[in-house]
Amino acid sequence: MRTFFHSFCIFFLILSCKQDTSKNTMSNTIQAPITKQISKELSKHNDIRVDEFYWLKDRENQEVIDYLNDENNYSTPKQPTLRIFKTHCSKK
């Protein structure tokens, strides 16, 4: 009986780990957005560093807004658990 229970648990674990790719058809068609890199030198305390993504700091820039919307459209279908969590939190 104990062996049957262990076998059943292992079988259930394997089944639960199997990914269902039929649900992810939409996320497979959306391509990940590519971030352009614009070098900006930042200097502080005689230390110079280059930040290629500094341009994303400008929240009023339409390119930044478009990029973030594209990124959200790409990542949202890949996070169904987060969507459930947000729905649950918004009801409270």
- In 3D space, the residue among 83, 59, 54 whose CA is nearest the CA of residue 69 turns out to be 59
Alpha carbon distance, N-terminus to C-terminus of the chain: 45
* Each residue's pLDDT expressed in tens, for the chain with a length of 92 residues: 567 666 756 765 665 665 555 555 554 577 888 999 999 999 999 999 999 999 999 999 999 999 999 998 888 887 777 777 777 777 76
Closest CA to 50 of 59, 60, 41, 37: 41
